[in-house]
Structure 1
Amino acid sequence: MAGDKDTLVGMGFDLARVEWALKATGNRGLQPAMDHILEHEGESVPDLSGVSESKGRSQPMDVDDDDDDVEALKGLVKGAVAGGSEGADVEAKSIKCSQCGKVFKNTALANYHAEKSGHDQFEESIEEVKPLTEEEKKQKLEELRAKMAEKRARKAEEDALENKANENIRRKTHKDLNKLREEVQAKEILKEVEAKKREKVEEAKARAAVKAQIEADKKARADKAAREKAIREGKPFPDAGQSSPTPAAAAAAAKPAQSGPSKEFKETRLQIRLASGGAPITTALPSESPLREVAEFVASQSPDIDVDSVSFSQAFPRKTFSAAELSKSLKDLGLTPSAVLLASW
């Protein structure tokens, strides 16, 4: 089949692909080899070093070489054999398909046609299959090129559709990722805003606590100076333990205490200094709350503080609250509307 090989190579096909097609079709002719090349155009050429050209295929055989070949073909095909009874001395030149009229020069090509078309009616023929002329080879080449061009165009169209679908998927995925990224950024911005708000609230509380501490210290220093002045001048002072203070001192001492009854305060604001040190803590409780609730508030600041061990004292007027007074309300103890307490345990 060197002629078929040279013809296919001359058509522009790769030598390795031509050899593969010829071996795969069992050297059954030019047309089967071209069909094989078209069907396996996009596949890589396998290693053919250990494959025989006739492996798994029927070797081409001319029906006029041996009468046994004709008898073998009769057993393979199902069609009626024309001319079996008359013209017995006429030599068969080819095999003809009774269903489509195609003529084949050997049983191998007839079998290949049967596999491809599904036809099963064959007969002997005295018609001789002539080799392709140069014009016919050119025509076959044009047909082959047209088929290849059509197949490439169809493949290019399929690839274009697939690429378009992949591009749509990529764009949608990119869009979804951008949307998700924007949502995450929006959540992060909200978290930052909330954190800044909390920082501002904490800063305001800290400034208020510092301001209250400064005011309490000023008041404590003023009370201490007034007490020392009273002692130097020999005047009575509430802390001196006198039972009958002077009217001026009594009026000065009674003034803060009398501010409560003149007006009802529903809430009491407390600044509590801890004996352990550190920044004072503040809280606001209903005026009817007992002093024990203040002790519970102090105990909640640390797991090491036992509520029953908490006691309170006041710098001005100087006073230490007893355990019995823990059950009294802040209003009854004169701590409204605000007071500064020292807590110890």
Structure 2
Amino acid sequence: MGQTDRNLLLEMGFDPRRVDLALKQTGGLQDALTWLGSHESTEIEELEKLAGSVAPSKEALTQAGPRESTPEPGAEPQSYKCNDCGKMLRSWEAVQFHAEKTEHQNFDESTEVVKPLTEEEKKAKLEEIKQKLAEKRRMQAAENALDAKKNEAIRRKRDQDSEKMKEELRKKEQLRDIERRKQEKLDDAKARAKVKADIAATQQARREAAAKAKAEREGQTTGDFSKPVMAPPPPTSSSKGTANHTEARLRFQISGLPPVTRTFPAETSLFEVASSLAEETGLTIRTFTTTFPPRKTYKLDEALDSGLTLKEANLTPSASLLVG
């Protein structure tokens, strides 16, 4: 029977080592199938190691419980009965497997012969086990696919969060660069103002010295040369100069969208304008291009262009820009 049961289990696709171990542990086809199904996810090395451990002794499993079917003295036991559930077991290996599976401990020897499964019963049982195994594997495959989908969603969310953090860091770095450039301009303006003040003071001192020398030559002995001699005001030019506009009215032309018109302070940087427009439209803005000659394109991913103010970019008091 063992060889026949082994061939049937091998035809179902079970590993030979697992088949031999299952038959050794259970002693029958039906229990072997149950054992294989319950230990499907356990490594064969671990199963072999557990099989080599000490099993419950026959005395320990038969020391308690009623003895309704105890064989007569000298009679050879043909089977074993579980007094906890009433199941008849063909061999001692089946008793050990049943005890391990159910934790039942009360067994009796019996002279009752457990009829083996007929070929039709074997085929029916095999078909039932095959369907159960196929359903179990189908459910496992569905669970694996669901886990893979969840893991992919987690990975995409992590990548999106990473890209968002990188974009925020890039914007903060650009803002710091703009603030640094503004501070450098202020420092340069202060330095130029100091140089002009020094030059004016030197010129004033020279004028006072010249006026004093002239008075001495002309015989003047008194006079107050400490008062500064006011320089004549600079002549006004009739030519048109740059007007000091404080605001810029901008008309943005965006592909696929109606034009957008907004007003910004003249000291607003192109990067700040792009950020404001991006928050409003949800677009990623990389360039601004003027529409009137001479056409000029400002690249917002370059610090030199993105740090320009609207006034420095000659976009005051109004301008029309193509958004790229």
- TM-score, normalised to structure 1, is 0.52
* Contact 1:74-1:81 within 8 A present in 2 as well: no
Distance in 1, Cα, partners of 2:133 & 2:191: 85
- Amino acid of the residue matched to residue 28 of structure 2? G
Q: Tell me how far 1:76 sits from its aligned partner.
A: 1.5
Q: Which runs of 5+ in 2 are unaligned?
A: 230-324
1:1-345 equivalences under 5 Å are 1-23=2-24, 25=25, 28-46=27-45, 56-57=54-55, 76=62, 78-84=64-70, 92-98=77-83, 100-120=85-105, 122-227=107-212, 229=214, 234-236=217-219, 242=221, 245=222, 250=223, 253=225, 256=228
* Contact 1:9-1:18 within 8 A present in 2 as well: yes
User: SS at 1:81's partner residue?
Assistant: coil
Q: Tell me how far 1:46 sits from its aligned partner.
A: 1.6
* Residue of structure 2 equivalent to 1:320: none
Distance in 1, Cα, partners of 2:160 & 2:121: 58
Distance in 2, Cα, partners of 1:82 & 1:42: 39
* Residue of structure 1 equivalent to 2:262: none
* Contact 1:92-1:126 within 8 A present in 2 as well: yes
Go from structure 1 to structure 2 and tell me whether the alpha carbon gap of 1:84 and 1:214 turns closer, same or farther (over 3 Å shift): closer
Deviations 1:250-290 (A, max 9, x none): 3x737549xxxxxxxxxxxxxxxxxxxxxxxxxxxxxxxxx
* Residue of structure 1 equivalent to 2:233: none
Q: Tell me how far 1:119 sits from its aligned partner.
A: 4.0
Distance in 2, Cα, partners of 1:75 & 1:117: 13
* Contact 1:34-1:144 within 8 A present in 2 as well: yes
Deviations 1:101-141 (A, max 9, x none): 43222233133223323445545544323333332332222
Go from structure 1 to structure 2 and tell me whether the alpha carbon gap of 1:40 and 1:75 turns closer, same or farther (over 3 Å shift): closer
Distance in 2, Cα, partners of 1:91 & 1:225: 145
Identity of aligned residues (%): 41
Go from structure 1 to structure 2 and tell me whether the alpha carbon gap of 1:93 and 1:213 turns closer, same or farther (over 3 Å shift): same
* Residue of structure 2 equivalent to 1:283: none
- Amino acid of the residue matched to residue 253 of structure 1? F
**Structure number with bigger Rg:** 1
* Contact 2:212-2:225 within 8 A present in 1 as well: no
- Amino acid of the residue matched to residue 183 of structure 2? R
Distance in 2, Cα, partners of 1:74 & 1:255: 125
* Contact 2:208-2:228 within 8 A present in 1 as well: no
* Residue of structure 2 equivalent to 1:303: none
Q: Tell me how far 1:163 sits from its aligned partner.
A: 3.7
Q: Tell me how far 1:205 sits from its aligned partner.
A: 0.9
* Residue of structure 1 equivalent to 2:242: none
Deviations 1:299-333 (A, max 9, x none): xxxxxxxxxxxxxxxxxxxxxxxxxxxxxxxxxxx
* Contact 2:62-2:108 within 8 A present in 1 as well: no
Q: Which runs of 5+ in 1 are unaligned?
A: 60-71, 258-345
Distance in 1, Cα, partners of 2:35 & 2:143: 22
Deviations 1:129-173 (A, max 9, x none): 333333233222222222222322332344345445444544544
- Amino acid of the residue matched to residue 206 of structure 1? A
* Contact 2:208-2:226 within 8 A present in 1 as well: no
Q: Tell me how far 1:180 sits from its aligned partner.
A: 3.6
* Contact 1:96-1:102 within 8 A present in 2 as well: yes
Q: Tell me how far 1:91 sits from its aligned partner.
A: 6.0
- Amino acid of the residue matched to residue 89 of structure 2? F
Distance in 2, Cα, partners of 1:22 & 1:121: 23
* Relative contact order, higher structure (CA 8 A, sep 6+): 2
- Amino acid of the residue matched to residue 33 of structure 2? M
- TM-score, normalised to structure 2, is 0.55
Go from structure 1 to structure 2 and tell me whether the alpha carbon gap of 1:55 and 1:2 turns closer, same or farther (over 3 Å shift): farther
- Amino acid of the residue matched to residue 225 of structure 2? A
* Contact 1:73-1:107 within 8 A present in 2 as well: no
- Amino acid of the residue matched to residue 62 of structure 2? L
Q: Tell me how far 1:217 sits from its aligned partner.
A: 3.4
Instruction: Supply the RMSD in Å over aligned alpha carbons.
Output: 4.0
Distance in 1, Cα, partners of 2:44 & 2:73: 47
Q: Tell me how far 1:206 sits from its aligned partner.
A: 1.5
Q: Tell me how far 1:236 sits from its aligned partner.
A: 3.0
* Contact 2:208-2:225 within 8 A present in 1 as well: no
User: SS at 1:138's partner residue?
Assistant: helix
User: SS at 1:253's partner residue?
Assistant: coil
